Structure 1
Amino acid sequence: MDDPRLASMSPDELRAAMRTLGYKTQNDVANAIGVSRSAVSLWLDGKVGVPRPVAMLLRMLVAAQRRQF
């Protein structure tokens, strides 16, 4: 039973989540979730996978954002 919400997040999915949540810069998303800007940069470059708890948090925020409209 693989829950897709528990999977890591591709750089493209991360970019899409950032857009949906209104984060314009790596710094915006880093400050919002409490990580360094360099961590976000590594995720966006695909050099390091997005940690699963971070991916899950961002997916939950995106889902909540979509429900508001």
Structure 2
Amino acid sequence: MSESREMLASMSPDELRTAMRTLGYRTQNDLAQAIGVSRSAVSLWLEGKVGVPRPVAMLLRMLVNAQRRVY
């Protein structure tokens, strides 16, 4: 899968967990409040019961990439 197509894909529960840690969100509630969704939505994503919406996956990947850049 090319990188641009990967950006359009959803996010696995493991990738979501890693993004949360990288961005400093310690709890489901922390992430939920930061992106404007319910804690139960985050819980469903982490359990793999519901896919992470593409816009959310793209936002989190952009934030992680921005944080990794050294200015």
TM bucket normalised to smaller: over 0.9
1:6 aligned partner, one-letter code: L
- Gaps of at least 5 residues in structure 2 are none
RMSD: 1.4
1:10 aligned partner, one-letter code: S
**Structure 1 residue 7: Cα displacement:** 0.5
The percent identity for this pair of structures is: 81
Partner SS for 1:48 = coil
**How many equivalent pairs are there?**
69
Q: Report what 2:21 is aligned to.
A: 19
- Gaps of at least 5 residues in structure 1 are none
Structure 2 CA distance for aligned equivalents of residues 30 and 4 of structure 1: 23
1:6 to 5, 8, 12: 8
- Deviation digits for residues 38-68 of structure 1 (CA, Å, limit 9, x no counterpart): 0000000000000000000000000001014
After the TM superposition, which parts of structure 1 deviate over 3 Å for at least 4 consecutive aligned residues? Answer: none
- 1:47 maps to 2:28: no
